[in-house]
Amino acid sequence: MKLLFISLGCDKNLVDSEMMMGLLHDRGYEFTDNEEEADIIVINTCGFINDAKEESINTILEMAKYKENNLKALIVAGCLVERYKNEILQELPEIDAIVGTTAFDKICDVVDDVLADKKHNELESINKMCRPDVKRIITTGGYYSYLKIAEGCDKHCTYCSIPMIRGAYRSVPMDELVKEAEYLADNGVKELIIVAQEITVYGKDLYGEKKLPELLHRLCKIPGIQWIRLLYCYPEEITDELIETIRTEKKICHYIDMPIQHASDKILKAMGRRTNNVELRNIISKLRKEIPDICLRTTLITGFPGETEEDHQILLDFIDEMEFDRLGVFTYSPEEDTKAASLDNQVDEEVKLCRKDEIMELQQEISMDKSERLVGKEIEVIIEGKASDEDVYVGRSYMDAPSVDGYVFINSEEELMSGDFAKVRIVKAMEYDLIGDLI
């Protein structure tokens, strides 16, 4: 039996997908990338914002067409299923089975039963910890991989449905994480990317205090791991101990993804965020003082209910002053059963898009300035592969996370392999990418 696996949404979802694939591999299933060859298709969906929901539904409908050929079973897992299980079962009869966010350890039984013409939908409490003891199938190319250190979230921001989909914050025991990281390193992973809905409060639920620095110290001792990257650090939870750990541990990239969402105190309060404009300035200042070459990535929401032109201008001024190295922005998406969805003064879609464009135009200028400052500098990159041009390779610096940031294009007559580390002298800058020569 051949199985096609499609993983949509975030990197945290990808970790769940890789675990499911590991379980199915152990059960004897083979994998294919060809829809026409697949006997079974499993789609791990995203349901975070409207665009993600549409992508998930469109993918389900597109894959369902292969039932006219060889496809015997279509199984849907993940966030969309958890959020809209009743609607999905009623309105998408093409689906043969569903698997919730905390029930993916039962994926093999679900597949077996569906193939035997038995109905088998798996849904469990969203607060269950689903951590099957399985060797993940690494799908990222082998040299980098994500380590999900916790599940769920306790922040309850007014715009966010994650607590309703993924449950309360639950840390994975440290020994399990170290064991999983060692397995990844043994299988060629050189860059370990630490993820969760929020990584900065790791361990508080299990050990009574934040344990991210201790976890990082242990991960840094693993042979083979050369870079450790931190994603999703909430600004109010970044401690002096964590900053010191990043500064002193040589394997930890001087890179933090710190979503702030906005800079207007009025909007931050309405969002249920735990910081204000002054506090954000303080933590950014401290990070740059203690780690001068730190690369700061952030994420913003524009068009939140009640956002005025004044609020938007406060955000623009903040971006202009703070000069984030990397920045992404989403237009506000009202999610059912969240507090923000019922707020007055919803912003028109056209206004949201205009504000998003203004933010990205400003960030493009900032990014160009920062890129130009790197011309003539030598930086280390990890090779991702070869570009279409001869003697041109694609890599990433410590300032670039996979999938979300830019690339370094390297001129090299010497053959380079994916996962190699190389020294590059930057010769040209673009808004988000760099061009360099191999040293």
Q: What does the DSSP 8-state code read for residue 226?
A: -
Q: Are 145 and 219 in contact (CB under 8 A)?
A: no
Please state, in angstroms and rounded to a whole number, the distance separating the CA atoms of residues 324 and 383: 25
Please state, in angstroms and rounded to a whole number, the distance separating the CA atoms of residues 377 and 429: 11
Helices 240-248 and 277-290 sit at what angle, rounded to 10 degrees?
Answer: 30
β-bridge mates for residue 385, sequence order: 394
- Flag whether 253 is marked binding: no
Buried b (16+ CB within 10 A) or exposed e, 398-420: bbbbbeebbbbbbbbeeebebbe
- Flag whether 153 is marked binding: yes
- Flag whether 157 is marked binding: yes
Please state, in angstroms and rounded to a whole number, the distance separating the CA atoms of residues 102 and 98: 12
Residues 6 or more apart whose Cβ sits within 8 Å of residue 87? none
Single out the residue of 10, 45, 50 nearest to residue 335, CA to CA: 50
Q: What does the DSSP 8-state code read for residue 347?
A: P
Residue 123: is it exposed, middle or buried by C-beta count within 10 angstroms (0-12/13-18/19+)? middle
Buried b (16+ CB within 10 A) or exposed e, 350-386: eebeebbebbbebbeebbeebbeebeeeebebbbbeb
Binding-site positions for [4Fe-4S] cluster = 10, 46, 79, 153, 157, 160
| Known binding residues | 10, 46, 79, 153, 157, 160
